[in-house]
Chain A
Amino acid sequence: GAGVSQTPSNKVTEKGKYVELRCDPISGHTALYWYRQSLGQGPEFLIYFQGTGAADDSGLPNDRFFAVRPEGSVSTLKIQRTERGDSAVYLCASSPPGGERDTQYFGPGTRLTVL
């Protein structure tokens, strides 16, 4: 079946601009996660959704970052007033309810470059 998809795959923007990154989780997966990965590092947790609500947004670095999941499926990560330090690969993952919820299924990521 279809895996987690993320669009766009690459995004180049200028400092100060607003960007939106989209994630389509695996159908039926109730949990959705956003991570950020810098070169040579492991992913860094940003936010976790259970259904429509953000159950944990403690990883968002500051108030320029915001994420929504209005219908409990697709999620959008929004970054305002982008800075060069925001450049990274943004990863989305989803996991099913029940006993397999520990395993997270990752999308290919969106590579964000802020010039």
Chain B
Amino acid sequence: GNSVTQMEGPVTLSEEAFLTINCTYTATGYPSLFWYVQYPGEGLQLLLKATKADDKGSNKGFEATYRKETTSFHLEKGSVQVSDSAVYFCALSEGTYKYIFGTGTRLKVLA
């Protein structure tokens, strides 16, 4: 079945450091891929998405590129801020009205 694997956290970085959170997926077809962010006590907010191979999603300085050859959708940001501290979920959807989430990666950014 379809699945999403993302790197375990927590990830602790200093402010202005470079961020990478790895995400790989397994799917039988051509899924849409998403990154969601969850702040403490809140629901999930869409951070960015990509719907086909080689698409790059970007938002608020975060980027991720849909790589079909490596079945990956790694999240990157060039310079993190304290306000980026949250839990990040990679997810996929393959047209079945189901969204499959990874286990989440907690990011902590220190001033």
Q: Do A and B come from one complex?
A: no
Binding site for B on A (CB under 8 A): none
